[in-house]
Chain A
Amino acid sequence: MKVSINWLKEYVDVSIDMGTLKTQFTEHSQEVDSIHPLVQVRDIIVGHVLTCEPHPDADKLSVCSVDIKLNTVQIVCGADNVAASQKVIVALPGAVLDKGLVIEPTTIRGVESNGMICSLTELGIAQKYHGETGIHVLNDDAVIGSSALETLALDDVVMTLDLTPNRADLLSMHGVAYDVGAIFNKPVSIETPSVTYGELKNPMTIKTQTDACMSYYGAVIDDLVIKESPSWMKTRLIAAGIRPINNVVDITNYVLIETGQPLHAFDFDALNSETIVVRNAVKDETFVTLDDKKRHLEPQDIVITDGQKAVALGGVMGGAATEVTRETKSILLESATFNPITIRKTSSRLDLRSESSLRFERGIDPKKTQFALMRACALLVEHASATVRQNTAFFDYNDLKDKVLRLSLVKINHVLGTNLDVSMVQSVLNRLQFDFEMTQEVFNIKVPTRRQDIQTYQDLIEEIARLIGYSQLPETLPLNRTVGGLSPYQAFKRSIRRALIGLSLNEVINYALVDLDRNNDLTGKPTNNMVFLANPLSEQHQVLTLSPLNGLMDVLSYHRARKMNDVQLFEIGKRYTTHKETETLGIALMGHYQPQAWKAHQPIDFYTLKGIIQALFESLNIQEVTYDKTELDAYHPHQTAWIKVQSHKVGHIAKLHPTTARRYDLEDVYVCELNIEKLFKYKTPKVDYQPVQRYPQMIRDVAIALKEDIASKQVIDAIQDLPFTALKEAFVFDVYQGEHLDEDKKSLAIRLVFEDSTQTLEADMIDQHMRVVADTLVNIFDAELR
Chain B
Amino acid sequence: MSTQAQINALEKALEKELNMCQKFAELNDIKAQYLGKKSQLTDLMKAMKDSTPEEKRELGQYINQAKSTFNAMIEAKKTALEAASVRAKLNQETLDLSLPGPDYTLGQSHVLTQIIESIEDLFVGMGYVIKEGPELESDAYNFEKLNLPKDHPARDMQDSFYISKHTLLRTHTSPVQVRTMLEYGGKKPVKIICPGKVYRRDDDDATHSHQFMQIEGLVVDKNTTMSDLKGTLRIVAEHLFGAQREIRLRPSYFPFTEPSVEVDVTCAQCHGAGCPMCKHTGYIEILGAGMVHDAVLEASGYDPKIYQGFAFGIGVERLAMLKYGIEDIRNFYINDLRFLKQFK
Contacts and interface: CB of A to CB of B under 8 A. Distances in A.
Given A477-B232, A478-B224, A167 B107 contact: no
A28 B251 contact: yes
A599 B95 CA distance: 14
A415 B107 contact: no
Given A497-B109, A503-B107, A26 B163 contact: no
Interface residues of B, number: 83
Contacts of B191: 478, 480, 482, 484
A29 B161 contact: no
A433 B113 CA distance: 50
A510 B333 contact: yes
Contacts of A459: 258
A72 interface: no
A292 interface: no
Q: Which of A487, A501, A506, A596 has the most CB of B within 10 A?
A: A506
B90 interface: no
Interface string B85-112: 0000000000000011011111111101
A723 to B, nearest CB: 44
Contacts of B112: 509
A391 interface: no
B261 interface: yes
Contacts of B260: 462
Contact of B261 (A29, A470, A508): A470
Nearest to A32: B281
B308 interface: yes
A341 B334 CA distance: 40
A500 B124 contact: no
A475 B153 contact: no
A484 B123 contact: yes
A510 B330 CA distance: 11
B335 A510 contact: yes
A497 B120 CA distance: 15
Interface in B154-175: 154, 156-158, 161-164, 169
A291 to B, nearest CB: 23
B151 interface: yes
Given A507-B113, A558-B335, A476 B252 contact: no
A22 to B, nearest CB: 9
B102 A458 contact: no
A510 B332 CA distance: 8
Contacts of B334: 558
Contact of A536 (B161, B211, B341): B161
A484 B127 CA distance: 4
A466 B227 contact: no
B293 interface: yes
Interface string B224-238: 111110111011000
B129 interface: yes
A478 B259 contact: no
B230 A508 contact: no
B144 interface: no
B293 A484 contact: no
B168 to A, nearest CB: 9
B223 A414 contact: yes
Nearest to B211: A511
Interface in A530-545: 531-537, 541, 544
A458 B250 CA distance: 16
A509 B154 contact: no
Contacts of A28: 250-251
Nearest to B261: A470
A686 interface: no
Interface of A: 26-31, 164-167, 341, 344, 348, 361, 414-418, 456, 458-459, 461-462, 465-466, 470-471, 473-487, 490, 494, 497, 500-513, 531-537, 541, 544, 555, 558-559, 562, 564, 567-570, 574, 576, 581, 594-599
Given A28-B251, A599-B102, 14 more contacts: A416-B225, A417-B225, A466-B251, A470-B249, A470-B261, A480-B219, A482-B191, A484-B124, A484-B126, A487-B129, A508-B110, A508-B340, A511-B333, A532-B163
